[in-house]
Chains A and B, each alone.
Chain A
């Protein structure tokens, strides 16, 4: 990746209906060797973009005719990665939030400070990228392949604005790892990252989990419950397996994305939210749209910037690095000496097809590290481990148990650990419900305390 190209090649389009503002910004930008194109209106700016293909657009928010928000929407219809800085004479927070959600890279209030302005321009211009952002995204991801480099580069381009990112890729390929890396590199890093597996939460509970509910919203809802969107306020929410979201809830999610507010179940009030949404799936959502199983409008809203994570087999260069990383992690976690693979064992690992991707590789390596009595792990042991753990698919019993445990946790979270209410929601009597809790070693008291509640949410994620 070219991190920096000649500054003089960077083209900036500035749009404002006040000539004195254009003069000022142009002088500052030329002083930093940018090429400047200027426009007095949004409509003219759109034409200039198609002619000059600028690297950055800086626009005023309030203008006659097409305003900055409409211009931003038009620009991102054609190129969602084009950075746009919005200027406004009024520091109105709803405008700033809306602009950020529409994909603005930065929002500056007039009168503009020269240093802040130029720092912001340099921060959001891809040609300056933002090596620090790239490093920030890449720091927790193990890779050296071209395929992953492209993904990381794209992720770093979108990390610091709120443009919707849609991560697709097979099971075990690391979709959540990428989503978390984007969050950690963004200005939202000091707020929460919450990952929700839409497929693991029963349909009836998913709405309440995401948007919350009011006291008395349904049988057993004796306490008001804050949803995960509100819990993630200021941060990032990952809706994993978005393809499993029921159609009725898709409509509600679309409304949340349009209005930036949530309405808890049973409430007449709405609550503003400032959350970055990342969605992920292993399914082919285009097919689901064609079959009418997924709303097309929501699909386009989510898939502004698609990141398609390759299978592990398609990036064999990364396997030795990942293998060494997992071995080191195993040694550290188990306070054991660091083991390594024999050359032929490593060759075998690299040649495998890995249908379960990185997650399967990690399981196999853990198994090898556990079984190996020697410092060097031989080929025979790797073959045995791969055979014993072909894809690590759960048995039907394991899958049922995982679902049942997830269901019980969800119900207890919503009822804040009130067992009688939870039993009512689940349609069981209290005795049966207690038996189930004992079976899964779940302690309802843990859900009566907020800190524990958060811990459980994370453990479910």
Chain B
């Protein structure tokens, strides 16, 4: 994983929402890990589905893509793939830097 920042351009109208939005994604990460440990693929699938639905609208397209991949992997109970995608999401969330433009 790289330390290089990922610049995300976000609509200034969404500026007030972004901190809360990103905080919720950190909570999602914790939940994903917990559900995965418990082999609770239903809840993993559900969180993946909602990440897919919400990320792109805020400007985080990769978040939607990772959400879709987590959802698909949960459908076939592929724990390794889910773990890999959760790590990618974690890395992504740590590296993003927001520019309001």
A residues touching B (Cβ–Cβ < 8 Å)? 18-21, 23-24, 27-28, 31, 62, 87, 89-90, 110-114
Contact = CB atoms under 8 A, between A and B. Distances in A.
B9 to A, nearest CB: 13
A24 B57 contact: yes
Nearest to B15: A27
A31 B55 CA distance: 20
B24 A20 contact: yes
B14 A20 contact: no
Given A21-B57, A111-B56, A89 B21 contact: no
B53 A23 contact: no
Given A27-B17, A111-B64, A18 B56 contact: no
Contacts of B17: 20, 23-24, 27
Contacts of B64: 111
B3 interface: no
- Lowest 10 A-B CB distances belong to which pairs? A111-B56, A110-B53, A89-B53, A111-B64, A24-B57, A20-B54, A111-B57, A112-B57, A23-B17, A89-B49
- Scoring A27, A28, A110, A114 by chain B CB atoms within 10 A of each residue's CB, the highest score goes to A110
A31 B56 contact: no
A275 B21 CA distance: 41
- Scoring B11, B50, B57, B58 by chain A CB atoms within 10 A of each residue's CB, the highest score goes to B57
Contacts of A89: 49-50, 52-53
A399 B50 CA distance: 63
Interface in B7-26: 11, 13-14, 17, 20-21, 24
B57 A18 contact: no
A179 to B, nearest CB: 38
A111 B13 contact: no
A23 B21 contact: yes
B13 A27 contact: yes
Interface of B: 11, 13-14, 17, 20-21, 24, 49-50, 52-58, 61, 64
A31 B15 CA distance: 13
B53 A21 contact: yes
Contacts of A20: 17, 20-21, 24, 54, 58
B53 A114 contact: no
A360 B54 CA distance: 59
Contact of B54 (A24, A90, A114): A24
A31 B54 CA distance: 19
Contact of A111 (B21, B24, B55): B55
B57 to A, nearest CB: 5
Contacts of A24: 14, 17, 54, 57-58
Nearest to B17: A23
Contacts of B52: 89, 110-111
B46 to A, nearest CB: 9
Contacts of A111: 52-57, 61, 64
B31 to A, nearest CB: 14
Nearest to A28: B13
A24 B53 CA distance: 11
A110 B64 CA distance: 9
Contacts of B24: 19-20
A110 B14 contact: no
B72 to A, nearest CB: 11
Given A20-B21, A20-B24, A111-B64, A27 B14 contact: yes
A18 B50 contact: yes
